[in-house]
Every structure is written in structure tokens, then in C-alpha cells.
Structure 1
Amino acid sequence: MNVAVWDTYVTKKDGNIMHFDIIVPSTIKDTSTIYNYGKRYLKLKGLQNLELTSKECVFCHIETLKPEWENSIKEHGYFIYEMENCN
């Protein structure tokens, strides 16, 4: 399975920029679905009031599904790969 990687940068209230990827099956093209996955993740982090639009989240590339992403994608439809200031 191929997955689409959506590069996401969100500015937190303290000014730090949170960087994470939203990874979804490459067949998902609806940006509102992808943004909603990101908003769901932000809500889990207690950051539900942050903006998440095409300004913060853009398609980056397609790659092959990695085993560590598979369960989350099967269960939730997406995987979040945390990179910077996500805690």
C-alpha cells in the first residue's frame, strides 16, 4: 500500500512551531478529511483551538506504508508522525 504524507506546521500559543506529518492511504484525496485527522490529533494534545488549513498542512509526497504505521491507519484511517515540538 502507498501512503500520502501531508507535512504540517502549527504554531502553538507559546509561539513554538509544532511539526508533524499526517500519513493517510494515498487514495484519500479529500483535504477536509485530512485536516480533520490533524484536528483530531491536536485535540488529543489539548490544542483543539489551533488553526489547521491548507496554510499549515500541505501534501508532501507518496511513499510505501511502513509497518509501524499500519495498525493506526487500519484502525483510525491515519497515522501521525511527530517531528518537532509535539509534546
Structure 2
Amino acid sequence: MKIAVWDTYVTRKDGKIMHFDILVDEDTKNAEEVFEYGKKYLKSVAQEGQELSSKECRFCHIDKAPIEIENQVRENGFSIIEMENCN
């Protein structure tokens, strides 16, 4: 499976910048759908309510997904790779 990688930077409630990637099926073209996945993730890490739009989240590239990412995308519609200040 090939996945679309959306590079995302969100200001946390404490002012630090979170950097994470939202991974979706390459056929997912609706940015609003991707933003909703990002908001779902933010809620799961107690950062709900933070701004997430095209300013914070942009399509980056298409890549081949490892099997564990493929399974997460098939099951949930998305996967997250935490990069910086996500915990």
C-alpha cells in the first residue's frame, strides 16, 4: 500500500510545537478528512481544541507503508508518526 504523508505542526496547550505526520491511503484527497484524523489524534493525547487546518497540516509526499502502518490505515483510516514534542 502507498500512503500519503501529511506533515503537521500544532501548537500544544503549553506553547510547545508538536510535529507529527498523519498517514492516510494515497487515494484520500479530502484535506478536511485528514484534518479530522489529526484532531482525533490530538484528542487522544489531551490536546483537543488546538488549531488544525491547512496552515498547520500540509500534504508532503507519497511513500510505501510498512505492514504495521498499512494495517492501522486499513483499520482506522489513518496512522500517526510522532516526531517532536508529542508526549
The TM-score with structure 1 as length reference comes to 0.96
Instruction: Tell me the amino acid that sits aligned with residue 11 of structure 1.
Output: T
Identity %: 55
> What secondary structure does 1:33 align onto?
helix
Structure 1 spans left out of the alignment, 5+ residues? none
Structure 2 spans left out of the alignment, 5+ residues? none
Match of 1:42 in 2: 42
* Alpha-carbon distance in 1 for matches of 2:31, 2:64: 20
Instruction: Tell me the amino acid that sits aligned with residue 37 of structure 2.
Output: Y
Moved over 3 A (4+): none
* Alpha-carbon distance in 1 for matches of 2:13, 2:77: 28
Match of 1:7 in 2: 7
Bigger Cα displacement from structure 2, 63-72 vs 25-34: 63-72
* Alpha-carbon distance in 2 for matches of 1:27, 1:71: 16
> What secondary structure does 1:38 align onto?
helix
* Alpha-carbon distance in 1 for matches of 2:32, 2:77: 14
- RMSD of aligned C-alpha atoms? 0.7
Match of 1:77 in 2: 77
1:63 has 2:63 as partner: yes
